[in-house]
């Protein structure tokens, strides 16, 4: 399979030209840009470059308010929750920012067996999770066969009334043939973060191993989508290179996918570099991103690609996560452990084996409760993926708002299951109020009645009801 040329995917020179030509918008121009963004039709590269120069407090507030409005229109109060499951910290890469780097000889290496994966999954099910992200280091042990085995082990594990209903994967890019083999295992999104689109910085950060090949990483979706896995997860690791340049390049990548395959990325992740054991760039990133810049990144991505899910992990603190939910984040991880075996404590020395330090240490239940107090509706919905509404089919329904009709009922049904089976009494009390409030927001008398009936069925012991 021929790899497309790098410049046909992300034209770095064009990104630089847009940034050089951009001028801070005056109030009238900003109003025009935000009006266009509020129509949820996205923004052009030059327009995004202008928004990146907004600095004045009143203009920044207007930018944030527009992002919050778009977020609310498309996602309402729903927030999707998941946990990462680190399957392996074995890695032949030597990323300067990551504790899993091969030159970190202090780290104890571990790749979970299918039995150990089941043990972790039982713990996760027992705490109420329904959606997982399997994370793999880049190592021959993490072959596609092992990935398939891992995905199958997750789906085969049942515990009490629960099971995992959607498995996403974060791993090194695969070949087209390997993506074809992975597809029948039934994964949701395949995530590969480009880390930085700026090639010289990329090459400095990833000196050896397969990850040193910038083009192989950049062309991952040109093998993944043709193999039939069309829910793709993009990301930049913020702190490696100038945030404006990398964000613009990321959006170029998203536009390329839309143009070439008729479907943009399913999700965009915005990890920011955290300190990591024995990783020099973890402590001193070359281009640190401040909290203020980070908020802008989220708001701008939300305005530029309104229909793309945005993921924020536990790298960030609870305060920052609360703010970012308003500005555009639609999915968060919760209660994460970033070492293989970290949940069921197969090995006790969690800190030493963790990939990086996390900023939010709260449990899933505490986070669910906090979301309720803030007026959000936690969701474990997996209906689209399980009904085959992925990739282009998903976008065709998402853009005119057709599936949103069912998103709210599905969120309510999955949250209700959590309250019945796993919640603490405090979370259950506030959660029931959230359900009552959101039931009234369902448009259409019939759908509301049907949803109320399904909620009663859940109370009577039925499970896994969705539209
Ligand atoms: N081996 C896979 C690959 O090649 O993409 C998975 C990489 S890693 C386990 C998942 C992601 O964690 C990376 O893509 C990177 O963006 C992020 N990451 C690595 N080190 C980090 C750090 N110190 N702070 C925050 N995020 C980090």
Q: Are 412 and 451 in contact (CB under 8 A)?
A: yes
Beta partners for residue 319, in sequence order: none
Domain identity same for 436 and 327: no
Task: Evaluate whether residue 25 is within a structural domain.
Answer: no
Which CATH number do you get for residue 121?
3.20.20.70
pLDDT along the chain (467 residues), means of 10: 93 98 98 97 97 98 98 95 97 96 94 97 98 97 97 97 97 98 97 98 95 98 97 98 98 98 97 94 97 98 97 97 98 96 79 76 98 98 86 74 81 98 98 98 94 98 95
R_g (Cα) of the chain, nearest Å: 21
Task: Evaluate whether residue 252 is within a structural domain.
Answer: yes
Nearest-atom number in ligand 1 for the CA of 272 is: 25
Domain end among 330, 361, 392: 361
Task: Evaluate whether residue 391 is within a structural domain.
Answer: no
Write the residue with the smallest CA distance to atom 4 of ligand 1: 172
Domain end among 301, 332, 361: 361
pTM of structure: 0.96
Domain identity same for 188 and 249: yes
Task: Evaluate whether residue 51 is within a structural domain.
Answer: no
Nearest-atom number in ligand 1 for the CA of 195 is: 16
Domain identity same for 323 and 419: no
Task: Evaluate whether residue 114 is within a structural domain.
Answer: yes
Whole-number pLDDT of residue 1: 77
Domain identity same for 449 and 326: no
Q: How far is the CA of 400 from the centre of ligand 1 (A)?
A: 34
Domain end among 339, 361, 383: 361
| 135 Cβ below 6 A of ligand 1 | yes
Mutate to test the pocket of ligand 1, among 211, 214, 355, 359 (most ligand atoms within 8 A of CB): 355
Domain identity same for 299 and 414: no
| 193 Cβ below 6 A of ligand 1 | yes
Task: Evaluate whether residue 289 is within a structural domain.
Answer: yes
In angstroms, the CA 451 to CA 465 distance is 10
Domain identity same for 167 and 115: yes
In angstroms, the CA 235 to CA 331 distance is 14
Domain identity same for 306 and 451: no
Mutate to test the pocket of ligand 1, among 150, 271, 274 (most ligand atoms within 8 A of CB): 271
Write the residue with the smallest CA distance to atom 13 of ligand 1: 193
Nearest-atom number in ligand 1 for the CA of 135 is: 9
Whole-number pLDDT of residue 348: 63
| 98 Cβ below 6 A of ligand 1 | yes
Domain identity same for 310 and 221: yes
> How many independent structural domains does the chain possess?
2
Domain identity same for 172 and 83: yes
Domain identity same for 356 and 407: no
Task: Evaluate whether residue 424 is within a structural domain.
Answer: yes
| 274 Cβ below 6 A of ligand 1 | yes
Q: Are 12 and 198 in contact (CB under 8 A)?
A: yes
Domain identity same for 411 and 262: no
Domain identity same for 250 and 328: yes
| 174 Cβ below 6 A of ligand 1 | no
| 312 Cβ below 6 A of ligand 1 | no
| 234 Cβ below 6 A of ligand 1 | no
Query: Angle CA(83)–CA(86)–CA(89) in degrees, nearest 5?
Result: 155
Q: What secondary structure does DSSP assign to 120-183, as a single string?
A: HHHHHHHTT--EEEEE--SSGGG-HHHHHHHHHHHHH-EETTEE--EEEEE-S---HHHHHHHG
What 3-state class would DSSP assign to 190?
Answer: strand
In angstroms, the CA 211 to CA 93 distance is 6
| 277 Cβ below 6 A of ligand 1 | no
Whole-number pLDDT of residue 368: 98
Q: Is the dihedral of CA 390, 193, 91, 127 positive or negative?
A: negative
Whole-number pLDDT of residue 392: 78
Whole-number pLDDT of residue 401: 64
Task: Evaluate whether residue 266 is within a structural domain.
Answer: yes
Give residue 295's domain range.
72-361
């Amino acid at each position: 399979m021929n790899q497309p040329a790098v410049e046909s995917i992300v034209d770095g020179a064009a990104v630089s030209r847009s940034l050089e030509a951009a001028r801070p918008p005056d109030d009238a121009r900003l109003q025009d840009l935000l009006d266009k963004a509020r129509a949820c039709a996205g923004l052009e590269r030059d327009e995004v470059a202008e928004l990146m120069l907004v600095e004045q407090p009143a203009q920044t507030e207007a930018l944030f308010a527009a992002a919050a409005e778009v977020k609310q229109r498309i996602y309402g109060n729903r927030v999707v929750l998941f946990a990462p499951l680190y399957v392996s910290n074995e890695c032949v890469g030597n990323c300067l920012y990551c504790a899993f780097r091969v030159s970190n000889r202090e780290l104890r290496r571990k790749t979970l067996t299918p039995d150990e994966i089941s043990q972790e999954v039982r713990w996760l099910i027992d705490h109420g999770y329904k959606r997982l992200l399997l994370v793999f280091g880049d190592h021959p042990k993490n072959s596609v066969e092992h990935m398939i085995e891992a995905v199958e082990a997750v789906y085969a594990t049942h515990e009490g009334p629960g099971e995992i209903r959607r498995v996403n994967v974060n791993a090194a890019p695969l070949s087209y043939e390997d993506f074809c083999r992975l597809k029948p295992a039934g994964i949701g999104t395949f995530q590969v973060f480009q880390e930085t689109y700026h090639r010289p910085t990329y090459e400095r950060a990833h000196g050896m191993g397969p990850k040193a090949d910038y083009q192989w990483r950049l062309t991952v979706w040109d093998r993944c989508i043709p193999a039939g896995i069309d829910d793709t997860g993009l990301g930049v690791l913020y702190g490696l290179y100038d945030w404006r340049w990398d964000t613009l390049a990321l959006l170029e990548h998203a536009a390329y996918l839309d143009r070439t395959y008729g479907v943009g990325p399913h999700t965009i992740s915005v990890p920011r570099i955290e300190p990591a054991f024995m990783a020099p760039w973890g402590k001193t990133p070359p281009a640190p991103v401040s909290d203020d810049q980070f908020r802008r990144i989220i708001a701008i991505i939300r305005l530029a690609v309104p229909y793309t899910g945005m993921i924020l992990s536990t790298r960030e603190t609870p305060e920052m996560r609360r703010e970012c939910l308003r500005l555009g984040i639609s999915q968060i991880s919760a209660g994460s452990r970033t070492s293989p075996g970290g949940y069921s404590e197969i090995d006790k020395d969690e800190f030493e084996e963790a990939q990086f330090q996390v900023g939010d240490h709260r449990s899933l239940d505490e986070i669910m409760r906090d979301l309720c107090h803030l007026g959000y509706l936690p969701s474990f919905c997996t209906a689209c993926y399980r009904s085959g509404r992925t990739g282009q089919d998903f976008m065709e329904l998402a853009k005119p708002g057709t599936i949103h009709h069912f998103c709210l009922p599905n969120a309510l049904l999955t949250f209700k299951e959590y309250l019945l089976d796993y919640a603490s009494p405090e979370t259950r009390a506030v959660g029931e109020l959230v359900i009552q409030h959101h039931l009234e927001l369902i448009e259409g008398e019939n759908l509301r009645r049907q949803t109320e009936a399904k909620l009663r069925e859940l109370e009577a012991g039925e499970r896994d009801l969705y539209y």
